[in-house]
Amino acid sequence: MKQTFKIGVITLAAGLVASVIAPTISPASAASKKTLTVGIVGTSDAKLWQEVAKTAKKKYGITLKTKVFTDYNTPNKALADGSLDLNAFQHYNFLNNWNKSNKNAVKAIGKTFITPIRLYATDVKSVKNIKHGATIAVPNDPTNEGRALTLLQSAGLITLNKTELPTVKDIKENKKDLNIKEVAADQTPSALKSEGAAVINTNYAQDAKIKLSAAVYVEPVDKASEQWINVIAVAKKNANKKAYKDIVKAYQTKATKQYLKKTWGDAELPAWDIKLK
């Protein structure tokens, strides 16, 4: 009886020691396990990341998983709180503005592609034929709204005051008296149907099966486009970890370039060695 009691005490003590010693492994510490998760928005690039995962496993011994988000607000929060390892959905401009309000918690560690945004319309085939008083939907988050309005300016539809991130309040000339309607970025494809015209980010256009060739105007790619290059981002504390950098290497390959060209043509241009003029 005493021996049974002693064994029980020893077993209990061992269990307590094990519970103290055994660390709780969070996704943010997954690099030590060689398992990482990347967050993307929408499913348009899911197959590409499956290919990247194959390279990561073969060349670097890393198991790479993909988590799909439906909005632009959550993936960076997930990096900051440690529930996600990497994300690949945003451009420099979006990241920089997000960081201003979030203590610079997230850092870009590699370029992916640049994808020009496009203006679509249901009843005209040329931007010149957009009617007086027409409604054009634009994304309502600050960076994409500013980008969309700049596109409308380059298309000759409006004139903006000079500012880093223009809003509808910065429209100083609107000869066609256009109604600029702000909606959530993921709702712009629906707004195209209801309003007749919309500036739509490429990933949402792809997810909605909208033909990119149907656009009536495409954003120019030039020196000013550096801020619109998409990136792989991580929590700042993980920026120098080898496993995370290896994922960038697994992405920035000739195979990725070939995939982008074959799948999207000029919709998504490899940007890690692009020369902007």
203 and 143 within one domain: yes
DSSP secondary structure, 233-247, as one string: EEEGGGTT-HHHHHH
Distance (Å, whole) CA 169 – CA 146: 11
Asked whether residue 28 is assigned to any structural domain, the reply reads no
What pLDDT is recorded for position 211? 93
Predicted confidence band of residue 31 (pLDDT cuts 50, 70, 90):
very low
Domain that holds residue 77: 34-116+226-270
Whether 27 has a pLDDT exceeding 90, the answer reads: no
Whether 24 has a pLDDT exceeding 60, the answer reads: no
Whether 226 has a pLDDT exceeding 60, the answer reads: yes
Whether 10 has a pLDDT exceeding 70, the answer reads: no
What pLDDT is recorded for position 273? 96
Asked whether residue 2 is assigned to any structural domain, the reply reads no
181 and 215 within one domain: yes
Q: What is the mean pLDDT of residues 207-226?
A: 94
Whether 127 has a pLDDT exceeding 80, the answer reads: yes
Q: Which residues contact 33 (CB under 8 A, 6 or more apart)?
A: 25
122 and 111 within one domain: no
What pLDDT is recorded for position 164? 85
CA dihedral 150, 151, 152, 155 (to 10 degrees): 120
Whether 30 has a pLDDT exceeding 50, the answer reads: no
Asked whether residue 215 is assigned to any structural domain, the reply reads yes
What pLDDT is recorded for position 43? 92
Distance (Å, whole) CA 4 – CA 1: 5
Give the count of domains, the chain: 2
182 and 111 within one domain: no
Q: What is the mean pLDDT of residues 67-90?
A: 96
41 and 177 within one domain: no
153 and 190 within one domain: yes
Predicted confidence band of residue 100 (pLDDT cuts 50, 70, 90):
very high
Q: What is the pLDDT of residues 41-59, one digit of tens each?
A: 999 999 999 999 999 999 9
Predicted confidence band of residue 203 (pLDDT cuts 50, 70, 90):
confident
Let me know: does 84 contact 78? Beta carbons within 8 Å: yes
Q: What is the pLDDT of residues 56-70, one digit of tens each?
A: 999 999 999 999 999
Which of the given ranges, 13-22, 153-162, 205-214, has the highest pLDDT on average? 153-162
Comparing 15-19, 239-243, 252-256, 264-268, which segment has the lowest mean pLDDT? 15-19
239 and 109 within one domain: yes
215 and 124 within one domain: yes
168 and 98 within one domain: no
Sheet holding 197-200, edge to edge: 179-183, 135-139, 197-200, 118-121, 217-218
150 and 88 within one domain: no
DSSP secondary structure, 12-61, as one string: HHHHHHHHHHSPPPPGGGGGGGTEEEEEEESSTTHHHHHHHHHHHHHHH-
Q: Which CATH number does the domain housing residue 45 bear?
A: 3.40.190.10
Whether 161 has a pLDDT exceeding 70, the answer reads: yes
Which residue is listed with tokens 């712009």? 188
Distance (Å, whole) CA 20 – CA 35: 24
Asked whether residue 4 is assigned to any structural domain, the reply reads no
- Which CB contacts under 8 angstroms, 24+ apart, belong to 163-171? 165/97, 167/142
Asked whether residue 25 is assigned to any structural domain, the reply reads no
What pLDDT is recorded for position 266? 85
Let me know: does 83 contact 237? Beta carbons within 8 Å: no
Predicted confidence band of residue 33 (pLDDT cuts 50, 70, 90):
low
Q: Which of 110, 143, 104, 111 is nearest to 235 (CA)?
A: 104
